[in-house]
Amino acid sequence: MFTNRTRLFIGFIFLLSLILLVDLRYYTIASLALMMIILLGWDYLRQGTLMVAARYFHHKEYDKAGRVLMEVFKPEWLSKNRRGYYEFLMGGVCLQKQDFEDAEKHYEIAAQYPLRSVNDHVAALVHVANISIRQGNYDKADAYLKLAEKHQEKINAKMKDVINRLHEELKNHKK
């Protein structure tokens, strides 16, 4: 929910209050300040900076979103729900930079985790299929399109149209 700079500032304030409260021998209140420092650290490790990155991403500020995503210490330590969204956002940032190999890798990982909606999950699968078609890996693209079609009844019309266009493109390349 916070950037690293904000977390450090808040943690520093709690640390100063912890020192002051211990010096004044208010140990019960000091334990609350210590608990807040621990919660800030835990929140950073489990939630990361995804909320800030998502805001930048949705405002099409991909460079800022990428920088904020890079602040995540170890993405594999994020909670299960956050890890998929991290990979989805990182895939989008890589796609905007036209780094297709990294985008494909991130979208493949994102598809393995729960995302916000079925549309997001299918979007990750479709991105991998699209990149695979562009790289000439038609078997992989076909496999990912089949995975995306399993959710056909739960996705919106726009996503269905994208899947159909990719199928047509795949047919043209296989001829």
pLDDT in tens, 109-151: 999 998 888 888 999 999 999 999 999 888 999 999 999 888 8
Res 175: pLDDT: 61
pLDDT in tens, 69-108: 999 989 999 998 899 999 999 999 999 999 999 999 999 9
Mean pLDDT over each residue of the chain, to the nearest integer: 91
Query: What are the CB-based long-range contacts (under 8 Å, 24+) for 30-36?
Result: none
**pLDDT given for residue 158 in this prediction:** 87
Superfamily of domain 48-174: Tetratricopeptide repeat domain (1.25.40.10)
Q: What is the mean pLDDT of residues 40-57?
A: 91
Give the model confidence (pLDDT) of 3-34 as tens digits. 888 999 999 999 999 999 999 999 999 999 99
Segments in the chain forming alpha helices (H): 4-23, 27-47, 50-58, 62-69, 80-96, 100-110, 118-134, 138-149, 157-174
Q: Report the interhelical angle of 4-23 vs 27-47 (nearest 10°).
A: 160
